[in-house]
Amino acid sequence: WLIHRQEALLTLILLAGIVFVRGIRSYVPAVGMSTMLKRRARSSLQFCLALLTFVTIYAFTTRTMAPWGPPHVVDLGQFLPAFTGLPIDNPFFRFWDTLGYFGLGVYAWFLLRWKSLVRSDFLTAGMLVPLLTNLNPLYAVLFLHFGPATGLWRTAYLMPLGITAAILLTVTFLSKSARQTSGQKIKAYIIVFFLVMSLIPWHYQERFNRTSRVPSMLSVHETSGAGLWQDLIKAVDQIQAKREVRRIITDNVTRFVLYSATRSQVWWWPEREYFPKHRDDYQEDFLTSDFTHSLLVINKRNGVLTNSAQYAGHWPPDILKVSQHYPQDLDEFIATHPNLFELLWSAADVNIFLMHPSKN
């Protein structure tokens, strides 16, 4: 793949949305579109509809629907009883995390000034994304024939909230041609104040604005970001370039990072492989199983819990406390079996060993 499948899907959805908006616009006489542009817009719309029909038929005839349920996907019947049994993205879970109070303010402002922005196919399509995908049961059913329920919410990334807010600020306060009444200006100032407040990570009693984006702007590169294990990733990459490496034996989180960063493979970290799953029986396994050409990576360099991670709830709060997954007697076992482990690389709280077969 030249692009991640998720990004490819999001690109196709946004392009299809733009084609849809442009095609609908071509049937509006007041738009003033030339005959050639109308023909192209309608042809593109017809092609997308035909392709969508083909994909839908293929999905319903050759694939099965993935299981769905809370918290990621809910029954539309909870909100509209007439549509019981149809799935939609849970609007109060990950979709809300993406939209947040800032998104609510942007949508309110967009509706008040829609005439200023509706001419943009990109902005119109982007702002319609939730109605076309997240809150659309037809899209949800189709998506669940190709992907898991945990991925349905990700089209919310397509909402151009920041771009829309920036354009609205420019059109409202900086455009010389903009003519507004006193009432419109007051509404604009109220919305801007609301947007600013929505960005602040405020605390009120036991409530915290977890949709604030300010914590995500803080520098966590060395303690929780790419720099935390960057040297480890480079070391494993260099070792694999020089010698054959069958497996990487380590804790589940480090395994997830190393396999994705150095091998472009995704291993689901909740499998708890290798540690802590084998924390109690690793000695017998190391002595009796064939770990030839395998790397044992002992990573006890813990990361720091960030505010974003703490309140987002996307990962467990102790996800970066990798040292807790290793057996307490692992270092002693390695020291007493020097014939099984060859130290290849060492840094702060991280060791990489090449594993050799047991002579027994």
Choose the final residue of a domain: 213, 247, 270: 213
Contact 136/88 with Cβ under 8 angstroms? yes
- 298 and 167, same structural domain? no
Same domain, 167 and 85: yes
Provide the pLDDT confidence category of residue 328 given band limits of 50, 70 and 90. very high
Claim to verify: residue 323 and residue 202 sit in the same structural domain: no
What is the three-class DSSP state of 249?
A: strand
pLDDT at 42 (0 to 100): 95
181 pLDDT more than 80: no
Say if residue 121's pLDDT is above 70.
yes
| pLDDT tens-digit series, residues 228-286 | 999 999 999 999 999 999 999 999 999 999 999 998 887 776 778 899 999 999 999 99
pLDDT for residue 316: 83
Q: What pLDDT sits at residue 220?
A: 82
Residue 197 sits in the same domain as residue 281 = no
Q: What pLDDT, in 10s, does the model give residues 59-109?
A: 999 999 999 999 999 999 999 999 999 999 999 999 999 999 999 999 999
Q: Are residues 193 and 269 in the same domain?
A: no
Q: Identify whether 222 is part of a domain.
A: no
Residues 159 and 296 in one domain: no
The pLDDT score that the predictor gives to residue 360 is 60
Same domain? 152 vs 273: no
In this model, does residue 358 exceed pLDDT 90?
no
**Structural domain of residue 322, as residue ranges?**
230-355
Number of domains in the chain: 2
Same domain as 138, residue 13: yes
Token reading at 301: 């360099």
Task: Give a yes or no: residue 300 inside a domain.
Answer: yes
Note the pLDDT tens digit of each residue in 124-146: 999 999 999 999 999 999 999 99
pLDDT of 3 > 70? The answer is no
Which residue, 259, 250, 257, 270, is CA-closest to 226? Answer: 257
- Asked if residue 230 lies in contact with residue 202, where contact means CB atoms within 8 angstroms, the answer is no
Same domain, 195 and 265: no
Q: Which of 287, 117, 285, 105 is nearest to 198 (CA)?
A: 105
Give the pLDDT score at 271: 78
Q: Is residue 360 part of a domain?
A: no
Report the mean per-residue pLDDT for the chain. 91
Which pLDDT belongs to residue 177?
62
pLDDT at 1 over 60: no
What proportion of the chain, given as a percentage, has pLDDT over 70?
A: 97
Is 223 among the domain residues? Answer: no
pLDDT at site 2:
46
On whether both 181 and 326 belong to a single domain, the answer is no
Pair 196, 312 in one domain = no
Single residue among 187, 213, 239 that ends a domain in this structure:
213
Give the dihedral sign, CA 32/34/38/40: negative
The rounded distance, in Å, linking the Cα atoms of 267 and 115 is 48
